[in-house]
C-alpha cells in the first residue's frame, strides 16, 4: 500500500445545497468528481490525523463504490479510525447517533435522501460535524470554495475491503471497524421510549404497517419493530434496501407510498401506518383512512411529549422551519415555552439544540426530530407515535381530532412543481419579490395582506444571518402563502408553494383541505402567475 498524490483540476458546480452535494450518478461517477469533493472536504477540515470518522449511506446505486474511495482517501489523510456501517448501510440519524456516542470528529453520509436511485438516479454526499449535525453554511461554503481551487488529491492505492464482514480491517495506518448499523441506534431508542408499553400494545393485538420503501430504514424497522417490540412478522413491507429503491421514489408522501395508503384505506386496514424515506430521516404517519400532516405530527408530539420517558421532564422549546404550519406555535404558547421559526434545513436547528433552547424540531417536508441526535429521524417519530398510542389508548384519528378540538386546526398544503425551468423559476420568484413592498394593505380576493417579505433569519445563538429563505405573504387573519425554491433536486428547479389557514371552529374541521384553501390558492396564482410562468396546469405533487 502507498499514498498517491494525483493531479486534478476544479470541476464546476460542486456547491452543496440544503443537505450536501447531490447530482446524477453519471456525474458522480465521472473521473475525479467524487475525489475532488472529498479532498475539498478534508482540506477544509484541516488536520485529520488521529481522528475518528463515521461512514455509511442509504444503499443506493454507487454507494459501495463511493465508500471504497472515501475509505482510501481518509486513510491518506491520517484518520486513525473509521466506523463503517455493515454493507455500507447507516441511516442519516444513525450516523448522527454513532458520531455522538463514539466521540467521532464527524461523519460522511452517502445519500441523496428522498431522491430516486439506480444507475440513472441521484447520488449525494454530506459531511456531518462533531455534534452529529449537518455542516453549517460557513463550512459548506468553504468546501465549495476549495473545489474551485483544488489542484491535487491524496488517496491510498490499497485494495477494496470487505464491506459485509463485521470486525476490523486496515488501510495504511487506519483501522476500519465494520459495525452493526442498527445496534447503537436501537440502544438510544430504548432509552427514549417505553418499549414495555409498546410491546404490550402489540401483544394486545395492535396491527401496523411500516413501509421501508426499499430504503435504509427497513433494517431498522425490522430489527426494532418486529425484532425487539414484537410487531407481527410482515408488519414491515419493502424492508430490504435496494440500489434503485425497487424502482420507486423513496419520498414518504401519499403519492409515492401508494401501497401503504392503499392498505390503510382497505376494509382490513391496520391500526397504524408509517413510511420513511431513502436515508431514514423522514416519516409519514397514517391512521385508518386518515392522514396526519407533518406539521400536525410535530405539534401533537410536542403536546404529549411527557408521555415518553425520554421527554418526561418537559420541553425547553420547539423549533420549526418557516414553511411549516403554525400548529406547533399554538402548542408552545399553551406550554409556555418558546417556538423558533428557522429557514428550511436541519442544520439551522443544530445551534438551538446544542444551546438547550429547543427539544423538538420539525419541518413540513415529513421531517421530525429532537435533541437525541442532530438530524431528523423517521423511525424515532414512528416509535414516539407508538408510545403515544400505548399511553393514550386512542386511535390515530382520535388523537388528532382531540388535538384540533383543543388547539384548532391549521389547514395546510404544499404544492410542488418539479423539474421546471430553472431560469423561469428564478424569474417567477423575482417577479413576486418585486411586489413585496406594495402588498401590505392590499385586498386580494377578499384577503387583506398584513406582511409580505423575503424571510431572513438571525440565529439567536451565534448571530449568523441567513437571507432570502422564502417569500412570505401573511394575511390579517393569519393565513399564509409561502413560496420557495427547493435545494434538494438534481435537475431543473422545484417550486414549492405552501398554503395555510387556521380554523378554530370544530364544526369546520372536516372540510377537504384543498377546498378549505381554495381562496388562498387563487391569491397565490394571481400574485405569482404560476401557471403562466411554469407552463404547468397543476402541481406535480400535492401534499
Neighbours of 461 (CB within 10 A): 12
- In angstroms, the CA 39 to CA 151 distance is 10
> Cell triple for residue 488?
434538494
In this structure, what C-alpha cell is assigned to residue 474? 401573511
DSSP string, 481-535: EEEEE-SS-SSSEEEEEEEEEEE--GGGS-S-HHHHTHHHHHHHHHHH-HHHHH-
DSSP 149-186: T--EEEEE-PPPP-TTS-EEEEETTEEEEEE-TTHHHH
Handedness of CA 382, 388, 391, 392 (dihedral sign): negative
What's the start-to-end Cα distance of the chain, in Å?
52
Q: Which three cell numbers stand for residue 324?
A: 411549516
Q: What are phi and psi of 398, to 5 degrees?
A: -65, -40
Compute how many other C-beta atoms are within 10 angstroms of the C-beta atom of residue 246: 16
Sheet strand arrangement including 493-503:
443-444, 447-454, 471-475, 480-485, 493-503, 409-420, 541-542
Identify which of 243, 277, 275 has the alpha carbon closest to the alpha carbon of residue 260. 275
| Cell matching residue 439 | 402588498
With CA atoms as reference, report the closest residue to 417 among 501, 528, 519. 528
CA distances from 431 to 362, 363, 416 (A): 30, 26, 19
Closest CA to 456 of 468, 474, 439: 468
Q: Give the three-class secondary structure for 28.
A: helix
113 given a catalytic annotation: yes
From the list 273, 198, 272, 208, the residue with the least C-alpha distance to 229 is: 198
User: E strand or H helix at 404, and its extent?
Assistant: helix 396-407
| Sign of the torsion angle spanned by Cα atoms 12, 15, 19, 20 | positive
- From 113, 235, 321, 365, active-site residue: 113
CA 401 – CA 393 distance, rounded (Å):
14
Nearest CA to 295 out of 372, 379, 368, 380 is that of 368
Spacing of C-alpha 57 from chain mean position: 14
**What are 173's three cell numbers?**
495506518
Distance CA 341, CA 318 (A): 9
**Catalytic positions:** 113
Amino acid at each position: 500500500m502507498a499514498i498517491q498524490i494525483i493531479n486534478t483540476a476544479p470541476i464546476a458546480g460542486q456547491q452543496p445545497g440544503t443537505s450536501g452535494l447531490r447530482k446524477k450518478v453519471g456525474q458522480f461517477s465521472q473521473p475525479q468528481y467524487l475525489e475532488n469533493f472529498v479532498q475539498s472536504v478534508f482540506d477544509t477540515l484541516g488536520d485529520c490525523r488521529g481522528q475518528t470518522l463515521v461512514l455509511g449511506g442509504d444503499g443506493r446505486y454507487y454507494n459501495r463504490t463511493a465508500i471504497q474511495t472515501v475509505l482510501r482517501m481518509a486513510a491518506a489523510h491520517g484518520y486513525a479510525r473509521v466506523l463503517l456501517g455493515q454493507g455500507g448501510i447507516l441511516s442519516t440519524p444513525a450516523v448522527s447517533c454513532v458520531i455522538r456516542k463514539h466521540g467521532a470528529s464527524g461523519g460522511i453520509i452517502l445519500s441523496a435522501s428522498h431522491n430516486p436511485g439506480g444507475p440513472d438516479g441521484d447520488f449525494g454526499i454530506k459531511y456531518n460535524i462533531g455534534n452529529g449535525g449537518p455542516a453549517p453554511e460557513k463550512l459548506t461554503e468553504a468546501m465549495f470554495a476549495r473545489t474551485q481551487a483544488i489542484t491535487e488529491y491524496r488517496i491510498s492505492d490499497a485494495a477494496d475491503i470487505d464491506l459485509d464482514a463485521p470486525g476490523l480491517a486496515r488501510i495504511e495506518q487506519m483501522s476500519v471497524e465494520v459495525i452493526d448499523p442498527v445496534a447503537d441506534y436501537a440502544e438510544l431508542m430504548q432509552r427514549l421510549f417505553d418499549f414495555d408499553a409498546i410491546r404490550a400494545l402489540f401483544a394486545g393485538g395492535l396491527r401496523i404497517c411500516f413501509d421501508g420503501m426499499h430504503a435504509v430504514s427497513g433494517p431498522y424497522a425490522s430489527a426494532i419493530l418486529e425484532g425487539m417490540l414484537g410487531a407481527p412478522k410482515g408488519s414491515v413491507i419493502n424492508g430490504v434496501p435496494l440500489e434503485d429503491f425497487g424502482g420507486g421514489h423513496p419520498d414518504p408522501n401519499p403519492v409515492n407510498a401508494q401501497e401503504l395508503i392503499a392498505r390503510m384505506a382497505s376494509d382490513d386496514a391496520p391500526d397504524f401506518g408509517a413510511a420513511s424515506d431513502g436515508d431514514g430521516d423522514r416519516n409519514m404517519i397514517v391512521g385508518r383512512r386518515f392522514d396526519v400532516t407533518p406539521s400536525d405530527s410535530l405539534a401533537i408530539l410536542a403536546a404529549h411529549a411527557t408521555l415518553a420517558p425520554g421527554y418526561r421532564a418537559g420541553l425547553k422549546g420547539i423549533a420549526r422551519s418557516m414553511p411549516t404550519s403554525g400548529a406547533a406555535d399554538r402548542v408552545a404558547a399553551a406550554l409556555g415555552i418558546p417556538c423558533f421559526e428557522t429557514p428550511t434545513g436541519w442544520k439551522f436547528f443544530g445551534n438551538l439544540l446544542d444551546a438547550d433552547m429547543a427539544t423538538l424540531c420539525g419541518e413540513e417536508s415529513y421531517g421530525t426530530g429532537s435533541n437525541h441526535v442532530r438530524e431528523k429521524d423517521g423511525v424515532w417519530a414512528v416509535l414516539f407515535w407508538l408510545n403515544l398510542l400505548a399511553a393514550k389508548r386512542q386511535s390515530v384519528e382520535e388523537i388528532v381530532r382531540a388535538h384540533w378540538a383543543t388547539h384548532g386546526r391549521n389547514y395546510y398544503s404544499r404544492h410542488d412543481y418539479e423539474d421546471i425551468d430553472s431560469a423561469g423559476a428564478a424569474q417567477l420568484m423575482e417577479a413576486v419579490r418585486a411586489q413585496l413592498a406594495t402588498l401590505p394593505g392590499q385586498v386580494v380576493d377578499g384577503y387583506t395582506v398584513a406582511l409580505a417579505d423575503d424571510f431572513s433569519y438571525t440565529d439567536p445563538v451565534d448571530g449568523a444571518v441567513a437571507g432570502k429563505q422564502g417569500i412570505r405573504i401573511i394575511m390579517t387573519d393569519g393565513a399564509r402563502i409561502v413560496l420557495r425554491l427547493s435545494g434538494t433536486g438534481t435537475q431543473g428547479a422545484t417550486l414549492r408553494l405552501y398554503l395555510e389557514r387556521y380554523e378554530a371552529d370544530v364544526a369546520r374541521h372536516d372540510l377537504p383541505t384543498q377546498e378549505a384553501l381554495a381562496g388562498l390558492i387563487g391569491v397565490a396564482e394571481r400574485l405569482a402567475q404560476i401557471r403562466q410562468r411554469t407552463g404547468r396546469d397543476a402541481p406535480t405533487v400535492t401534499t
